[in-house]
Structure 1
């Protein structure tokens, strides 16, 4: 099963400049499985998405399809075949 991941510009050094990558995960995968597979394929990217406790970093937004996972099931959000995951760093400023 394949899940597409949209990678923000700031993290593309881990994906050799690729904006969109695919990861292979099991049939009943969750977002946590996708991030694990993403880090296995692109070492180091997982540490930029997850903090030291294994939770999504405070200033990183993750969407499964069009749903913000903070308002869904977090890392346990299901990611069925064909799902699109977007990693979006929070932007602040005045």
Structure 2
């Protein structure tokens, strides 16, 4: 299943500067694996050492925050858009 993945500026060094790429996978976990196969090193910026989403990285499948869905097991239907958004902190 092919989806469009929006890449934040901080991760574009992995995608050759591309702000949007195509990836495949029935779930977010499979999608991240495909991103890693295409863009070596990118998954380490999305997942922590235990294979879970990094605490300060928000991922949306369509309009849904995967933290409130099924996490890495969230389905990624064909044609949907996935957005990777680093959290911004400050005060």
Q: Which TM-score band (shorter chain)?
A: over 0.9
Contact 2:28 2:72 in 1 (8 A): yes
| Residues 72-87 of structure 1 mapped to structure 2, 5 A cutoff | 72-87=69-84
CA distance in 1, matches of 2:35, 2:63: 19
Aligned twin of 1:23: 23
* TM-score, normalised via structure 2 length: 0.97
The 4+ residue runs of structure 1 with deviation greater than 2 A are none
* TM-score, normalised via structure 1 length: 0.94
Q: CA RMSD in A?
A: 0.7
Aligned twin of 2:65: 68
Unmatched runs of 5 consecutive residues or more in structure 1: none
